[in-house]
Structure 1
Amino acid sequence: MVSVIMPCYNSQKYISSSIESVLAQSVTEWELLIINDASTDNTKDIINDFSKRDPRIKVFHLEKNSSAAVARNIGIDNAQYKHIAFLDSDDLWLPEKLDKQLSLMEKRNMPFSFTSYYVINHEGKVLELRKAPEIVNYDKLLNHGNEIGCLTVMYNRERFQNYRFNEEIRIHEDYKMWLDMFENVDTAYAIEEPLALYRVHAGSKNLNKFRSLKWNWLLWRNYQKQSVISSLIISLRWIKNKVVQRLTVKKLNTSRNNSLTFPSVDQKSVY
């Protein structure tokens, strides 16, 4: 049913938990393609061990470090199932994630879907809830910035057979991919229920908002061919949205234990 693509680089600290969140899915017909982007830590041994214990897990080892875009494209090129989903090696899914998305897409005959998600810290504590907009189209995605979490996306590979991540882009390569896709999709619908957990830590590449704005500007100008004035307007709107997001973000009750746990799969696979 679903080909799950997981790029990884020096991910020994979190990748076991990420893999186990796939193993814990209520849907069992999936394959997990892990692309090791020339890691120098113990990542290679960890993913090799998982692949030996579950034939649904397939690993690819790159000889030189490339990028998440390159790794994801290798995953797409080797995918066997109709649907594609993405999960980075430090993020997590809730157990019903694949099941609920597949049900929605089949019911509505949708080629693309995404969900809300939690933001967690390096310890797994929930920091905030990021609600997905109910619907997204090309204009909204272009003019309001990327509101689609890559870890929540699922799309029909047959509908988007020739689409790949732009390997020239080091940050926001997923945003560019969605913009390309949405030029041929009228509307995409979200599952507003949070079904994934996005981890922020010192190594998170989107942590710096000024850097993020710079890369967005380059994307709008160089790839989407927006004028300077148009890019400036979009940038100001993006800044406003980020400020509003900060002010209105739904903080979870920190007085309770807000770390999430997952169903046990194979305790021997915990590193």
Structure 2
Amino acid sequence: MEPFDATADASLPRISVALCTYDGERHLAQLLDSVLAQTGVVLEVVALDDASSDGTVALLQDYAARDPRVRVVVNAENLGHLRSFEKCMGLCEYELIAPCDQDDVWAPGKLARLARAIAIADMAYCDSAYIDEDGRPLGRRVSDDLRVMHSGHDPLRFAFQNTASGHAMLVRREVFERARPFPAQLYHDWWLALIAASGRGVAYVDEALVQFRRHADAASPMGKAHKGDGAHRKVKRFRSRNRKWVEQRLYVFDALAQRDEPVQERALAWHLALREAMSGRMLALWRVTWRTRASVPPWSGPRWLAAIRCYLRCVRKVLGARREKGSAAIGGVRH
């Protein structure tokens, strides 16, 4: 661990790291060492533990006793991943906030690089390289799986596919305040990316500045589906994948439609079109796909062709969802 420098240059960007932990003792020291070794920034680490039962809290307190940049808060009861991050980010004092998982490893210049990239945007994020439970490189990046990494001012792109992982992002406090409360059924990073893209936009740094650890207990499903999945899990995902896709998009568009954001009208149109499609009426779905063809996947090639391909994909998802057990359009728009 690098010693704390009380004479840090006042011109350096000030960044709060919002670290949430839960029974993470095994990999936590390596993560903390990499965070506290960040160069070119003034740092505070707000570590919020979600009622761990192992030695996580003791380890955090040991670091806090040795480095005044670390502040430890312990939940009296388990709040879960989403509410813990919302609480932790609310405790941060600086205007730039970096969410942090308990088991990754950060490159020394990660935060300084993101701080340069954010410029006038609301969020910046980087690529990540997968490592296994023991820290061995897996030879691929998040961008290899996602194929496209979104940036700019189009929240609909993030609605169809989130590419901004929390462990890889730097976000302005004002975006976090606009995003509160976090919707109950969305990952916090997805929601923050949607809000940032609705405002001053999102910047992407095409560098793997995080070693992203993949193991059975990791909170994010990203990177887990390549090997070792049992056949019963594959069957379960197959049987419900269309319904989950439709219901998730309905939820995202509904959440965006409740907000005073530039995307509100388009989100409402998509929500209503998907609900009509679930009832067997497809015309509205085609109309909204065509009107928003600049935003829909796939994000390469002529936009008229993208609109046709996206519409056909949505139709397949809707028809599949209607056949799957338990399918139903969730939630109405609450205006």
> TM-score band, normalised by the shorter chain?
0.7 to 0.9
Q: Deviations over 1:178-228 (max 9, x none)?
A: 22332234x322110111121110112333664996765433213423314
| Pair 1:119 & 2:119 matched | no
SS of aligned partner of 2:53: coil
AA partner of residue 92 (structure 2): A
AA partner of residue 221 (structure 1): L
| Pair 1:182 & 2:197 matched | yes
SS of aligned partner of 1:181: helix
SS of aligned partner of 2:26: coil
Q: Deviations over 1:69-96 (max 9, x none)?
A: 2111122221111101011001121001
- In structure 2, the CA distance between the partners of 1:2 and 1:126, relative to structure 1 (3 Å rule), is same
Q: Name the TM-score, length of structure 2 as normaliser.
A: 0.63
The CA distance in 2 between the partners of 1:49 and 1:176, in whole Å, is 33
SS of aligned partner of 2:135: coil
The alpha carbon displacement at 1:61 in A equals: 0.3
| Pair 1:60 & 2:73 matched | yes
SS of aligned partner of 2:248: helix
Q: Name the TM-score, length of structure 1 as normaliser.
A: 0.76
AA partner of residue 129 (structure 1): R
- In structure 2, the CA distance between the partners of 1:111 and 1:173, relative to structure 1 (3 Å rule), is closer
Question: Of residues 142, 162, 174 in structure 2, which corresponds to 1:130?
Answer: 142
The alpha carbon displacement at 1:99 in A equals: 0.9
Q: How does 1:122-201 map to 2 (within 5 A)?
A: 122-127=133-138, 128-131=140-143, 133=149, 135-136=151-152, 137-143=154-160, 145-164=161-180, 166=182, 168-169=184-185, 172-185=187-200, 187-201=201-215
AA partner of residue 95 (structure 2): K
Q: How does 1:240-251 map to 2 (within 5 A)?
A: none
Q: Which has the higher helix share?
A: 2
- In structure 2, the CA distance between the partners of 1:39 and 1:217, relative to structure 1 (3 Å rule), is farther
| Pair 1:24 & 2:37 matched | yes
Q: Percent identity?
A: 20
- In structure 2, the CA distance between the partners of 1:3 and 1:167, relative to structure 1 (3 Å rule), is same
| Pair 1:206 & 2:220 matched | yes
RMSD (CA atoms): 2.9
- In structure 2, the CA distance between the partners of 1:215 and 1:198, relative to structure 1 (3 Å rule), is farther
The CA distance in 1 between the partners of 2:192 and 2:202, in whole Å, is 14
SS of aligned partner of 2:93: coil
The alpha carbon displacement at 1:55 in A equals: 0.7
| Pair 1:79 & 2:88 matched | no
8 Å contact from structure 1 (residues 7, 37) kept in 2? yes
SS of aligned partner of 2:30: helix
AA partner of residue 215 (structure 2): H
The alpha carbon displacement at 1:134 in A equals: 5.9
The CA distance in 1 between the partners of 2:93 and 2:311, in whole Å, is 38
8 Å contact from structure 2 (residues 15, 41) kept in 1? no
The alpha carbon displacement at 1:28 in A equals: 4.5
- In structure 2, the CA distance between the partners of 1:120 and 1:29, relative to structure 1 (3 Å rule), is same
- In structure 2, the CA distance between the partners of 1:60 and 1:224, relative to structure 1 (3 Å rule), is same
The CA distance in 1 between the partners of 2:33 and 2:205, in whole Å, is 23
SS of aligned partner of 1:74: helix
SS of aligned partner of 2:25: coil
What is the number of equivalent residue pairs in this alignment? 233
The alpha carbon displacement at 1:155 in A equals: 1.4
AA partner of residue 201 (structure 1): H
- In structure 2, the CA distance between the partners of 1:215 and 1:179, relative to structure 1 (3 Å rule), is farther
Give the unaligned 5+ runs of structure 1.
Answer: 238-271
